[in-house]
Amino acid sequence: MKKVLIIGATSAIAHSCARLWAKEGAEFFLVARNNEKLAANAADLSALGATAVSTFTMDAVDRGRHHAMLQQCVEALSQIDILLVAHGTLPDQQRCEHDVSHALQEFENNCTSVIALLTLLAGQFEKQRCGTMAVISSVAGDRGRQSNYLYGSAKAAVSAFCEGLRARMFKQGVHVMTIKPGFVDTPMTQGLDLPKALLKTPEFVAATIVTGIEKRRNTLYTPAIWAVIMLIIRSIPGPVFKRLSL
């Protein structure tokens, strides 16, 4: 029976992953800031077959709550087999360019809060000497693009942090997987003009994440075509790239 901690548990991708694990009888500790939605998701997982579901209401940027969250999680689960870090926001790039406070808040939402949580949770996994830490980053972190470089820079930092953490935790018997989704049809992307051919459902992405964890993938592009797309984008010479409106 898997014991799963999900931070950002009300996100569409995270809940789709949880539903797959619930059908296998997993036990959950769900963390999110929306208590009403958290309760609804917990009930859904119980109905699908989850052995037990505990919840903890917390905004991930509230570092003062991190230790209490981990303590309650360990009390509920005893051990964490799978950690999925899935919280984040999609910033308004134009506002970030003119509002320093907003830019820094969005960087906190998408980067420093993730690093703070992973640093704390790594200690628990070191004690266990087993388990998987899976972190949702983004293809946006592979190269800074004009249209979303605040978000991209936050995700780039998360991806680099996870790469170093992976090397550290490997020696402790713990696996770290970096997840890099492309365009996903979620509430966070509503209203954006995204190419339909590349737009995937949360359920599709969740299935690849669950499989990726089972196969102990280091970096998971989902869908896989994004590995090719980002290879091409990274290969564009700087003098050309800065002239593009990507």
Q: What is the mean pLDDT of each run of 10 residues along the chain (246 residues)?
A: 97 97 98 97 98 98 98 98 97 96 98 98 97 98 95 98 98 98 78 68 97 98 95 96 90
What is the rounded CA–CA span in Å between residue 34 and residue 37? 6
**Is 221 known to be catalytic?**
no
* Dihedral pair phi/psi, residue 183, rounded to 5°: -80, 125
Closest among 79, 15, 77 to 48, alpha carbons compared? 15
CA-to-CA dists, residue 175 to 89, 111, 178, angstroms = 26, 20, 10
- Return the pLDDT at 51: 97
Q: Which of 151, 161, 183, 226 is catalytic?
A: 151
Q: Are 116 and 134 in contact (CB under 8 A)?
A: no
CA-to-CA dists, residue 15 to 43, 117, 127, 136, angstroms = 12, 19, 27, 13
- Return the pLDDT at 246: 86
Supply the pTM of this predicted model: 0.95
Options 3.40.1160.10, 3.40.50.720, 3.20.20.450, 3.20.20.10; CATH for 3-241 is 3.40.50.720
Structure-block tokens of residue 15: 């809940």
What is the rounded CA–CA span in Å between residue 129 and residue 174? 6
